[in-house]
Amino acid sequence: MNFDIAMTDELLATTRAVRKRLDLDRPVAREVILECLELAVQAPTGSNSQGWRWVVVDDPAQRAGLADLYRRAATAYLSQAGEAAAAKGDTQTERVYGSALYLADHLEKVPVHVIPCLEGRPPENAPPAMLAGLYGSIFPAVWSFQLALRARGLGSALTTLHLVYEQEAAKLLGLPEHVLQVALLPVGYTRGTDFKRADRPPVSTITHWNRW
Ligand SMILES: Cc1cc2nc3c(=O)[nH]c(=O)nc-3n(C[C@H](O)[C@H](O)[C@H](O)COP(=O)(O)O)c2cc1C
């Protein structure tokens, strides 16, 4: 099979964290979420563990509950961080925090919240190899899910702030104790489908060949 390289590169390079351009009024069918999850679970997992679980929240009351927890964790932190970035003249980061505050203010209106989870929690003081194996067995799938959404005209943002209140969220969602939440992805159709590459440092400045 020959991939369309230009199209593939465009997908990889322009799948952004979408917040302000999520369409809060257009419903998202469960089928499209399941279709993207089917692709997501083709991602690799450590020891082929496949311990991923996905909690998909489209009930308005449940979304409102999650949004309350998210705001409790996010609002003060994001405002302060945004002001600090502005004081430094870091406009890209200032924009990110402005956009993140917008998401916090509107989260309950985003049509679907997807919470990727893992079966199994790390012990306290888990060594780096264990943590890498654990989180490395879910984030590749999360990113594939985000790419699959983008290819279908939907957008998302990987967020972790609600995890400050992980236990409260677990209670709200009825999660068993051994299930670990790793993120919350607000999902909706995007207003427009054109997204740009972000500014990143040239890889030659952050790549080390053979030794640091
Ligand atoms: C581990 C991780 C945690 C993140 N947590 C949040 C979050 O809690 N809230 C949020 O609005 N964005 C969050 N983001 C999104 C980043 O802010 C975003 O990826 C970054 O600003 C770069 O934007 P881009 O993805 O469009 O290039 C997170 C991203 C990662 C990888």
- With a 6 A CB cut-off, is 198 part of the ligand 1 pocket? yes
Rg (CA), the chain: 18
For 51, phi then psi, to 5°, come to -85, 15
User: What's the confidence (pLDDT) of residue 55?
Assistant: 98
Q: By alpha-carbon position, which residue is closest to atom 9 of ligand 1? A: 159
The whole model's pTM is what? 0.96
Q: Where are the beta strands (DSSP E) in the chain?
A: 52-57, 112-119, 154-156, 179-181, 185-189
Closest CA to 114 of 171, 62, 45: 62
- With a 6 A CB cut-off, is 159 part of the ligand 1 pocket? yes
Length of the chain equals 212
- Number of the ligand 1 atom closest to the C-alpha atom of 160: 8
Question: 159 to each of 74, 101, 162, how far by Cα in Å?
Answer: 10, 12, 8
Q: Give dist(CA 63, CA 56) in Å, integer.
A: 10
User: What's the confidence (pLDDT) of residue 79?
Assistant: 83
Q: By alpha-carbon position, which residue is closest to atom 22 of ligand 1? A: 17
Using 50 as the pLDDT threshold, list the residues of the chain that sit under it. none
DSSP structure class, residue 22: B
- With a 6 A CB cut-off, is 67 part of the ligand 1 pocket? no
Q: Give dist(CA 27, CA 184) in Å, integer.
A: 18
66 CA distance to ligand 1 middle (Å):
18
The residue to mutate among 90, 92, 96, having the most atoms of ligand 1 within 8 angstroms of its beta carbon, is 96
Residue-wise pLDDT for 69-124, tens only, equals 999 999 888 888 888 999 999 988 899 999 999 999 999 999 999 999 999 999 99
- Number of the ligand 1 atom closest to the C-alpha atom of 17: 26
Q: By alpha-carbon position, which residue is closest to atom 7 of ligand 1? A: 159
2 CA distance to ligand 1 middle (Å):
32
